[in-house]
Amino acid sequence: MIMTVFSRRTAFAAVSVLLLVACNKPAATGTGGGQTAAIAAGEHVKGSDAAPVTLIEYASPTCPACKYFHDSILPDLEENYVATGKVKFVFREYPVHGDVDVAAYVLALCSGDDNFFATLDDLFANQSGIVDAARSGVLKATLQTIGSGTASRRKPSSTPAWKTAPTAKCWPTSTRSRPTSGM
């Protein structure tokens, strides 16, 4: 049975509400809740540290399901829960498509903490173009040109400079925020 977009949204909203309601109830024993995920320094966070619920999203800017969540679900979640202090939102990189995702994450990281989420928004907005460029080889060629300078000035390296000597501007001190791939 194929669910329509409306029924998927409705199902997701219903599950989200049930989870939020369940999280709002005190533990039966009165000893507190279960384990919570640790949020490391340098992670990409929106919302209040005092929020009673922390939502961690693992996503890839080249993943169609992640784009659907980003475009269709996240705006309402941010408006109704993150902005009101009910939920702290944490974004974590999940490189589904290897090198293409790593390049996207490096771009977002290099844009700075204040621009990380805006850059991520741009990456999701341009997902089809990024994926098409990756499939055709244009993206790799462009990134190699950018990473190695012009051929007349610098010989291309087999190991990208960002991998061997990351700069403080692009890489937080926490290794948790560094995207990984088999590059």
> In terms of pTM, does the model score above 0.75?
no
Domains of the chain: 44-173 (3.40.30)
Question: What average pLDDT does range 60-89 have in this prediction?
Answer: 95
With CA atoms as reference, report the closest residue to 172 among 112, 117, 99, 122: 112
Q: What pairing do the DSSP bridges indicate for beta strands 53-59 and 87-93?
A: parallel
User: What digits encode the pLDDT tens for the residues 102-133?
Assistant: 888 888 888 888 889 999 999 999 888 888 88
Of the two residues 163 and 147, the one the predictor is more confident about is 147
Is the pLDDT score of 165 beyond 60?
no
Which residues, in sequence order, are CB contacts of 70 under 8 Å at separation 6+?
A: 59, 120, 121, 124
Residue 77: pLDDT band with limits 50, 70, 90: very high
Give the sign of the dihedral formed by CA 78, CA 83, CA 89, CA 93.
positive
DSSP 8-state symbol, 86: S
